Amino acid sequence: MTGAPFPRHLLAGDSESAARALIGAFLVRGNGPNARIGRIVEVEAYVGIEDLASHARFGRTNRNAVMFGPPGVAYVYLVYGMHHCLNVITEAEGRPAALLIRALEPVSGIEEMRTARIAAAGRTSTRRGHDSDVARIGGLPAARLASGPGLVCACFTIDRTTDGDDLCDPGSDLRLEAASDAQMRLPVAQSPRVGIGYATEPWLSKPWRFFVEGNPAVSGPRVAATAAQ
DNA sequence: GCAAAGATTTGCT
DNA sequence: GCAAATCTTTGCC
């Protein structure tokens, strides 16, 4: 049920509506039988210059410039010097807002995702040997392959060169695709955002993390605590 | 021009 | 449960 372009207008309105539209949709890399496809099951919204948890809180800078551009474009940045994070721009051009893709449920191209993760592990972590990465990642269940923002980018071979690409263009190698209505009927839960301890209230407690309740691909141990409330 | 911190993941204590 | 790995971006002197 993939193949339909993702309508840009679904991302052009308020970010909560955009988040609910994006949950259940697909992120696709490549074409043909080896294409990597993942269902989006967890996102976080970063909205406006006033959001003290957002990269846009210092105004427009070289790094966050695409956040101020049109919706549907990819914003990719490097965190902690080793992991990349993928965002989809939302809201009207000129207003900095984005959805961080925190987790995907692998649908197709699962072995290709393992290969991509092993390659990414070799690039980012030189502490362990390649054989160790192959064993560790090869043993992961599919639902754990892309269950975190850094892991999403590892599985889909996303780095800073992807920054600024149009994810709503059906011709893009990395793109969004719409799901059928039936597939979009998923139970969506909300919680505060993860990993923004540097922010202050009220931004710290805004329930701007959206995820599919009970889905095994939703990210990490920290999730269980916040999801349970 | 330099120092500090970060929208994370992993392994070890 | 804690700290390391690692480097870009931002803020301040």
State the pairing for strand pair A188-191/A26-29.
Answer: unpaired
pLDDT score at A126: 57
Query: Could you tell me the residue ranges of all domains in chain A?
Result: 9-228
Taking the CA atoms of residue A201, residue A10, residue A149 and residue A171 in that order, the dihedral angle to the nearest 10 degrees is: -150
Query: Is A158 (CB) below 7 Å from strand B?
Result: no
Query: Is A66 (CB) below 7 Å from strand B?
Result: no
Task: Name the helix (H) or strand (E) containing A161.
Answer: none
Query: What is d(CA A37, CA A174) in angstroms, rounded to the nearest whole number?
Result: 10
Which residue, A158, A167, A171, A176, is CA-closest to A113? A158
Please state the pTM of the whole predicted model. Answer: 0.95
pLDDT score at A129: 80
Strand nucleotide closest to residue A83 (CA to C1'): B8
Strand nucleotide closest to residue A65 (CA to C1'): C9
Tell me: the pLDDT tens digits for A75-89?
999 999 999 999 999
Query: What is d(CA A71, CA A6) in angstroms, rounded to the nearest whole number?
Result: 12
The second-level CATH assignment, the architecture, of A9-228 is Roll (3.10)
CB-based contacts of A220: which residues, under 8 Å, 6+ apart? A147, A148
Tell me: the pLDDT tens digits for A17-64?
999 999 999 999 999 999 999 999 999 999 999 999 999 999 999 999
How many residues are listed for chain A in this entry? Answer: 229
**CA/C1' separation A114–C13 (Å):** 47
